[in-house]
Amino acid sequence: MARDVAVLIGSLRKDSLNRKLAHAIMEIAPSSLKLEEVPIIDLPLYNPDLDDAPLAPWTALRQRIKRAEAVLFVTPEHNRSVPAALKNAIDIASRPYGANAWNGKPAAVVSASPGAIGGFGANHHLRQSLVFLNMAPLQQPEAYIGHADKLFGADGKLNNDGTRKFLGDFLAAFDKFIGVNAA
């Protein structure tokens, strides 16, 4: 049976590089991994005043994350951090206090940008949150995809064999990591 991996994409843009990358990752994934995007675009901002009567999108996100065996984050970098929408999703699924849906989940982070350092700041800032949330983040291989604007054809498909091989190796390592770290 394939491992259930929730995929959160930090960019909300329909044609973003990170969305294209996430879709490429889902296509490359071995049959042992079932990668499924968990949309975050319509999540209302987290407000602890609503914890006693949570909004339906919050409840759906929390339940989906709890069902997942692992989580893959694919994110751009915004001001050396993660995009606000991704941080909001993280906050929603970690609350209310004592009901952290992320708790104990193996995780991996892929960041991509047109720049040379491939979203390094966002990748590491996100890892800080994952540790606090008691997630087990994959440490190696690290995945910073630089010059991502050069990796996709006009059809939006990944057209770089070196990146495809790297992502395949990354997914194989993540699959093994999930097997060792799944709750």
pLDDT in tens, 86-144: 999 999 999 999 999 999 999 999 999 988 888 889 999 999 999 999 999 999 999 99
Domains and CATH numbers, the chain: 3-181 (3.40.50.360)
pLDDT digits (tens, 9 = 90+) for 27-52: 999 999 999 999 999 999 999 999 99
pLDDT attached to residue 118? 85
User: What was the pLDDT predicted at 70?
Assistant: 98
pTM of the model: 0.96
Three-state DSSP string of the chain: CCEEEEEEECCCCCCCHHHHHHHHHHHHCCCCEEEEECCCCCCCCCCHHHCCCCCHHHHHHHHHHHHCCEEEEEECCECCECCHHHHHHHHHHCCCCCCCCCCCCEEEEEEECCCCCCCHHHHHHHHHHHHHCCCEECCCCCEEECCHHHCECCCCCECCHHHHHHHHHHHHHHHHHHHHHCC
Mean pLDDT (the chain, rounded): 95
